[in-house]
Structure 1
Amino acid sequence: MKVSQFLAAMAAPMLLSSALSAQTFTRGDPVPVTLPLGNKPGNPILDMPPGQRLISAFGERPVFSPKGDKLAFIGKSYGDAFEYDMATGQIRNLTGHAPSEGFLRVHYIADGSFALLGPRILGKTREETRFSRIELFWMDPSATRAPVPLGVTIFEGIATSPRSNMIAWSEMRPAAAGKPAATTVYTGRIAVRDGAAKMEDKREIVTTTDCFVEAQDFLPGDKGLLMPCYGYGKGPTGVETQVISVDFETKKITRYPTPTTLYGEVEGIFPDGRRALVECAQDRAKGMDLCVLDLDPSKPRYTRMTDIVQYGGWKYGNPVVRPNGRMIAAQVGSADVIDAGVGQGIVLMDLAPGF
């Protein structure tokens, strides 16, 4: 049985319960030097730890709404966006009403409307589409109108402010005319008037050439950004990651060291701004878990949250924190996928008080 078929079979009974287990996740042990794959028999979806449940047998890249009462996600790469109601457990298709080439990401902006990332025109290859054809679209909160292009091409994802309609993104510049390849980070505001939207107040923040940055999360007070920085063609697995932040006022970049043996891609930040979730792995192509990183550049402690790699060939990915800091959503699925970010189901994890 394929992983997707198994997830579909498992989701039906799990969706009958609308309340999470009373048991919760606690912070685990410090991350060792390596995270080797295991060979534990069984299936991690069948053997989910207490405090975790599968809410959808398909999907990837979940995001919480500003109030935390909804959860949006992409059904599959270059597919439709969906929304899960936390109170009722109902799922609705957000984008099936409008023709498109599909989407890779969906986000809520502060006013409750949606930001979507996808291509207007597909490239000749996956790489061309992913790195040079992904545009930003706006869609109304009721999800009844066609997505509106905002004239911005995005490298990877965006960060959305919890305080306003400000977003941040990066744009890639390929190497040319003796200049190295680079990414430049921008901020802007999605202005919505009379049912129409456009990008305003675009501002350049910082340019990097040593690695390629992706806007991930705003720091508390919208004073800066937390970001992963990718070094392609580096490291034992071909991709090296750094965790960095940038201060909007000073433009200073802070680096949070990652062990050289660890793939650590920063994802959702906690509301207090002192910790963040990280995708962690020895080899992300073979399996990946979730870790928590203390955002202290002098003592960047990594601790383990999950242990799905004990089964071998499975991974969690793209974790996000609910606005109240008491729950995490992530995708789950096989590690044997073609594109980065692909998931095969959405899980919720309750966090212990004081996590």
Structure 2
Amino acid sequence: GKEDPEEAFELIKTGEVETRIGASVAKGLTRFVGRKNSMATLMDALDRVKSGSGQVVGLVGEAGVGKSRLLLEMRNMLAQGEYRYLEGRCLQYGGSMVYLPILDILRSYFDIKEGDREFLIKKKMEEKILDLDEKLKGVLPPFQELLSLKVDDEGFTKLEPRERRERAFEAVRDLLIRVSQEKPLVLAVEDLHWIDKTSEEFLGYLIGWLANNGILLLLLYRPEYTHPWGSKSYYNSIVLNQLTTKSSAELVQAILEGAEVAPELRELILHRAGGNPLFMEEFTHSLLENGTIQRKEHQYVLSQKPGGVQVPDTIQGIIAARIDRLEDNLKRTMQVASVIGRDFAFRILQTITGMKEELKSHLINLQGLEFIYE
């Protein structure tokens, strides 16, 4: 038991946050630092798209270097109402899940929510398509199949698989191009290094049609991923390296806001983080949680000599060390959830753990500690 009263929370509804960066936005982001040249390149590509010249930009960098954050900051700079933004994500375990990022894009455009009934999904699609352009009515059968709905067009279901795939590619292409004719379209695909083969082939197909259309296609991926699009004249890559020492110091001060950062503390963080923004934030939060960083008057200082600070040297290690400091019941919940996968359903987790009311409390605590996001 606890010696002092604990603050209690009640779960009242499902949140809309789906990604780590989305959760960070909801909680409050650390001030954005550096990346001025990268942002200038993105805005230049956007200007070209506004004039009707389609562009493809690859945001390339190691995990945690800030690809998603740069994308978010660019989105925040878009003039409200002047652009359409759609986004798809690839997942680490999604290499065999065909059309995964494309389905994200379609669900977003048609405003399809989790739990929507089939008749409602069909209604949303038909109304949106007919409102955009009645000539696009032919895209409905391929979209119905992509979204695992009953296909109303019997003729479409009798086509060979290769023909249905061609129709699907054409349908998504026609929709995106027609949307871009209303206003410039910014289309982003995150974690391309995990993309499924079919979606990758579709992107190659779409890129071949972009030159004269108002679409900015942003592809976020790690350096080990290779693709055949680099030869296109309208393709450009932005390589995000680790932050400079100056930008890293700015970020440390932004994380530890409200007081000055002692020089030896700043040097410790900079040395261990190596310019990786995510590493810097996780490392700093880890030191705060274990009491290594303390605030004394108007300065953040180390509570012990730098040489005595025992911390892991990788992001995974830092997260693992934070998990090790959890209470056993929270740790157990984390372990079971991780076995289920990167995304897990409450019902499945409840069935496996055998927990009832206490499971909600554990998940709220883990969410507050930023181990999981809803």
TM-score by length of 1: 0.24
Higher relative contact order (CA 8 A, sep 6+): 2
Q: Give the helix-richer structure, 1 or 2.
A: 2
TM-score by length of 2: 0.24
